[in-house]
Structure 1
Amino acid sequence: MQHHTEPRPAAADAPRAQRRQWFGLASLLLPVFLVSMDASVLYLALPRITDSLRPSAAQQLWILDIYPFLLAGLLITMGNLGDRWGRRRLMLCGASLFGVASVLAAFAPSAGTMIAARALMGVGGATLLPASLALIGNMFAGNRARDRSLAIGIWSAAFSFGTAVGPVIGGLLLHHFWWGSVFLINVPVFVLLLLTGPVLIPEFRARTSAPFDVLGVILSLGSILPLVYAVKTVAAHGLSISMAAVAAVGSMVLVAFVVQQRRSRHPLLALDLFRNRTFAVAIVGTVCAMATFGAMSYLTGIYLQSVLGFDVLAAALLGIPTSVVVAYFSMRAPWIETRLGRRATFVAALLAAAAGQLLLLILGSGGPAWGYIVGTVVAGAGYGTLFTFTSAVALDAAPPERAGQATAISEMSFELGMALGVGVLGSVATAVFRAAGPVDDTLGETLERAAVHGDPSLAAVATQAWVDGIHVTVGVAAAILAATAAIAWAALRKR
């Protein structure tokens, strides 16, 4: 297979993409769909896994968190490695690792083995996302801009749709089979990728003899892992001195990482990409937007199950309209950008997300469930557009040989935003909830106590307090999105 180093720029009269390229794109979507689905599936399976493997409270937390920790921590490293070593090769190695780890997780005899399997899945997942998006840039580089944009939109749609349908597929599997089935469904999909990938997807790597930035890898992990861990722990258990110390250590290492990257002749992270104003605004805007998206998903998920009393599968089905809208607008984003221009598209997407957040103010302790659907669907139109916008900007910002680094930064902004949303905005809702009076640390614990003592008034106070927490949080989220839109409108004006 020939190694491509300089794809042709897409000209106005560039040819249409061929059928083989679209088949190659379909092959690339397989791992993206599964990686996005995997996080949401595990929440469903956890009660059964807990019954079977008897993990301690700490082990249970690590079964959930080790995967997103390593996924977020290794994205930048793997993006850089793919540029050098070969994106297709790295992606297929990552797919093999993910598949083997899935089998290990399905038949894990102990909690320790399950944690190890989840860790390996996190490492595999980190290779798949930046490589797959960067390869789309390579595969469609010589074609019409319209085809390339559509390919990026389809990639974004697969990612967002995987997150949404994960609970539905997981719920159906758990209804009919044992808990290991939610991991085993990964295996045939990755086998299919390993068979089709070498045939349909071209290899790409940068021609460079520059040394690999090992110190940068160590410092990036030393900053990202403590920060993500601190944010997640604070979200679950509130702020403590130990978590403040962990966050402080992560912040100090992050400063050291930035200084080292600026001085390094061959840095791991291309900080000069941030000189591109559109790229910088898109990345910062995406972190803010994903924080509001993460908080909305987390808080409304608890609302549907604990306040309105839906089971997990019913709650997942109620989320399907939003996922369809997110997927649709992910694919329509290039068309919207053609009509409105890049600046107006980004701002309109942020404002649509803000409007959807504000519509959730109609939710009360008795519903309506349709209020949840309306609010999240309107927000989904904005978020779907944003997903594709940021991915396209990331690919446009870097030369082909550094596309892996640029797409890794874009993926990192999604992961970081989600973690901050659940951690920071989730804490706002929890603080409002706890201020309501005689409630426990969580809504679930309070409702359990109310049921044990036969105290409907306590249950009513608790559910109303959670609704109040949602109202305050969606107001804050809408304000963040509106402020981000105003900054983007000012920053992206033509000079």
Structure 2
Amino acid sequence: MTTGGVTKAGRREWLGLAVLALPTFLVSFDIFVLLLALPQLSADLGADGNEQLWIMDIYGFTLAGFLLTMGTLGDRIGRRKLLLIGATVFGIASVTAAFATSPGLLIAARAVLGIAGATLAPSTLALISTMFRDDKQRASAIGIWGGMFTLGAIIGPVLGGVMLEAFWWGSVFLLGVPAMVLLLAVGPAVLPEFRDTKAGRADALSVVLSLAGILPLIYGIKELARTGWEPLPLASLVAGLVFGTLFLRRQRRLSDPLVDLKLFSNGAFSVTLGSLLTYSLVGGATMLFASQFFQLVGGLSTLRSGLAMLPGMAAATVAFAITPAIAAKVRPAYLISGGMVGTAICMVVFTQATSVTTLVVGFAVFSFCGAPLVALGTNLVIANAPMEKAGSAGSLAQMCNEFGSALGIAVVGTVGSAVYRHQIHDAIPAGVPAAITEAARDSLAGAGAAVAGAPERLRTAVLSPAQEAFTASLHAVTGIGAVLLAGVAVLIAAKLRHVPPVGQEEPGPAKAPVAQEPSDAPVPETARV
């Protein structure tokens, strides 16, 4: 069906979207389900503390590191081809992880899972841009795409908990295998192929420089958040910045770069990416401190702390579903900035929060209000990039999410830690043993560990001021978040106010027809079975 010169998606495209939902769901599912399996697999494999950290982190490292490369690679070799290759590797790596016999093998399998996962999000976003040329349909499709991430986060802990009750820890890795088999079986029949026929070969040095820049940056940021200002994470940050600068300089010189920096000359594109980065930064830091508050102040178990986040995930899923319909009547600038005002208000409320209930309800409102930015922002990023660059644009949107969360935990989290240490420094009563005092001054978790098994009077004397100090640090973190999100609201309202509602065009003077030159734009290569 063709409307206004644009061919609307039909049954085949919507069926294709259902197929694309499978890998989208699994990317977030795989992260959350491992949180529950970690204690069992660590005991079974004999993983020490350092190995446990690598089991958790290596997936995110390789996922972030390869996003740019995979987004551009899909544009060059074919988005469907890359998606199916990634699905195959993801399935094989999942089976390997499930039956791993040592921490080293599991870490290696998780690394490969991250590389395969890096093919999924850019490929699915780029294929959505190919399949849904109508603005309203594309906005709805991306809303569904975004909702699948949060749905994976909701179902992951619940289904993972059920599997761990009935089977061994490796069973959680096998959950994604049937989905990947279904994708491989049905994908070639319902997904179109698209590649940029004008693109040259990927520049190998650019790929190396991108990895040399991104991986040390992610590692350094995470380690700074975990250990503080130690020499190794600082050196890693410096190395990442140096290689990142060399990468950008090379992209400016290449006629066919790995990342086309000209995309950032589009105001809507660059402003939206910056907003996504900031929202992810605030969300990452807030979730870190809120989850710790649930456990260390509220006294919830790890599982119950994860379940406390579910109302927020559910609220985001609902918001993703209804945002496209509202965006057809309301300008994105006003819808997104209104949502950001809502998130900023939530942050202000959090600066006074002292109970688990306030945080659970507030996080649900925060997630609901933030969904328009993620859904419409991702749509704006894709819509403002040429069709042949959709994979690269999609990878940049995902990179903002990865970097934003890591930056929030490291930078804003460091501020929160400093507030905690300042508040606790003179709050421990005299007479408490020096070793316990030092542990309490380091962190609330350290305070809890130091007084485990101690008399009730000593526990109260240490934990009460430590919990108050941690609550103050939560207030500081959310106060920073309120300021940042209010700034995003103003920026979006000012810079994107010219963007019409989804599916509408700005009224303007009638223009005389202009003779069209033959187009050099790449043509989709569609394969039907």
Letter matched to residue 189 of structure 1? A
1:301-333 deviation per Cα after TM superposition (whole angstroms, max 9, x unaligned)? 111122212223322322222111111112222
Does 1:119 pair with 2:106? no
Query: Superposed, which structure 2 residues align to 1:302-321 within 5 Å?
Result: 302-321=292-311
1:228 deviates by: 0.5
Deviation at 1:289? 0.7
Q: After the TM superposition, which residues 167-182 of structure 1 pair with which residues of structure 2 at under 5 Å, given as runs?
A: 167-182=157-172
TM-fit CA distance, 1:440: 4.7
Name the counterpart of 1:3.
Answer: none
Code of the residue aligned with 2:496 in structure 1: it is L
CA contact (8 A) 2:206 2:258 kept: yes
Q: Offset of 1:167 from its aligned partner?
A: 2.0
1:66 and 2:53 correspond: no
Greater shift after overlay, 203-212 or 152-161? 203-212
User: Is residue 420 of structure 1 aligned with residue 420 of structure 2?
Assistant: no
Question: Aligned-pair RMSD on alpha carbons?
Answer: 1.8
Decide whether the 8 Å contact of 2:46 with 2:103 is kept in 1: yes
Contact in 2 for aligned 1:356/1:377 (Cα 8 Å): no
Match of 2:442, SS state, is coil
Aligned partner of residue 194 in structure 2, secondary structure: coil
CA deviations over 1:55-111 (Å, ceiling 9, x no partner): 233222211111101100111100111011111111111011111111111111001
1:197 CA drift (Å): 0.9
Q: Does residue 231 of the first structure (1) align with residue 221 of the second (2)? A: yes
Task: Please list the CA deviations of residues 406-454 of structure 1 after superposition, one character each: whole Å capped at 9, or x if unmatched.
Answer: 1111111111111111111222222222221231533222112122323
Asked if the contact 1:95–1:190 (Cα under 8 Å) also holds between the matched residues in 2, the reply is yes
**Residue 357 of structure 2: aligned partner:** 370
Report which of the two structures shows the higher radius of gyration computed on alpha carbons: 2
Per-residue deviation at 1:13? 6.6
CA contact (8 A) 2:315 2:364 kept: yes
Greater mean deviation of Cα atoms: 77-86 or 41-50: 41-50
Q: Which residue of 2 aligns with 1:22?
A: 14
Residue of structure 2 aligned with 1:380, choices 354, 363, 367 = 367
1:279-358 → structure 2 map (5 Å cutoff): 279-358=269-348
Alpha-carbon deviations, 1:94-132, whole Å to 9, x = none? 011111111111111001001100001001000001000
Matches within 5 A, 1:8-407: 11-12=3-4, 14=6, 16-141=8-133, 144-208=134-198, 210-364=200-354, 367=355, 369-407=356-394
> Could you say if the C-alpha distance between residues 19 and 493 of structure 1 is closer, same or farther in structure 2, counting changes exceeding 3 Å?
closer
Identity of aligned residues (%): 38
Q: CA deviation at 1:385?
A: 1.1
Is the contact between residue 94 and residue 176 of structure 2 (CA under 8 Å) also seen in structure 1?
A: yes
Q: How many residues align?
A: 482
Q: 3-state SS of the aligned residue for 2:451?
A: helix
Indicate the residue corresponding to 2:493 in structure 1.
Answer: 489
Q: Distance in 1 between matches of 2:221 and 2:195?
A: 35
Q: Structure 1's 357 and 171: CA in aligned 2 closer, same or farther, altered over 3 A?
A: farther
State how far apart, in whole Å, the 1-side matches of 2:135 and 2:383 are: 11
Contact 1:224 1:254 in 2 (8 A): yes
Amino acid across the alignment from 1:484: V
> Which residue number corresponds to residue 431 of structure 2?
none
In structure 1, C-alpha distance between the alignment counterparts of 2:128 and 2:472, rounded to whole Å: 44
Partner of 1:448: 449
For the residue of structure 2 that corresponds to 1:452, the secondary structure is coil
CA distance in structure 1 between the aligned counterparts of 2:199 and 2:247, rounded to whole angstroms = 23
How far did 1:16 drift?
A: 4.7
| Contact preservation (8 Å) 1:171, 1:312 | no
Distance in 2 (CA, whole Å) between partners of 1:300 and 1:343 is: 29
Aligned in 2, Cα 1:478/1:209: closer, same or farther, shift over 3 Å? closer
Q: Which moved more, 1:307-316 or 1:249-258?
A: 307-316
**Which amino acid in the other structure matches residue 407 of structure 2?**
L
Output the CA distance in 2 between the equivalents of 1:491 and 1:236.
Answer: 37
| Contact 2:331-2:497 within 8 A present in 1 as well | no
Query: Matched residues in 2 for 1:334 and 1:447: separation?
Result: 46
Whole-angstrom distance in 2 between the partners of 1:130 and 1:289: 20
CA distance in 2, matches of 1:309, 1:325: 24
More helix by share: 1
Amino acid at match of 2:474: I
Alpha-carbon distance change, 165 to 440 in structure 1, aligned in 2, over 3 angstroms? farther
Letter in 1 for 2:376: F
Deviation of 1:172 (Å): 2.3
Separation of aligned partners in 2, 1:113 and 1:316: 27
Q: Partner amino acid for 2:95?
A: V
TM-score by length of 2: 0.88
- Give the letter for the 2:487 counterpart: A
Once the two structures are overlaid, the 10-residue window that deviates more, 159-168 or 18-27, is 159-168
CA distance in 2, matches of 1:66, 1:313: 23
Runs of 4+ more than 4 Å apart: 13-16
CA contact (8 A) 1:165 1:316 kept: no
Structure 1 CA distance, aligned partners of 2:22 and 2:87?
Answer: 10
Q: Give the aligned partner of residue 465 of structure 2.
A: 461
Partner SS state of residue 279, structure 1: helix
The answer to whether the Cα contact below 8 Å between 1:30 and 1:193 also exists between their aligned partners in 2 is: yes
Cα distance in 1, alignment partners of residues 6 and 269 from structure 2: 25
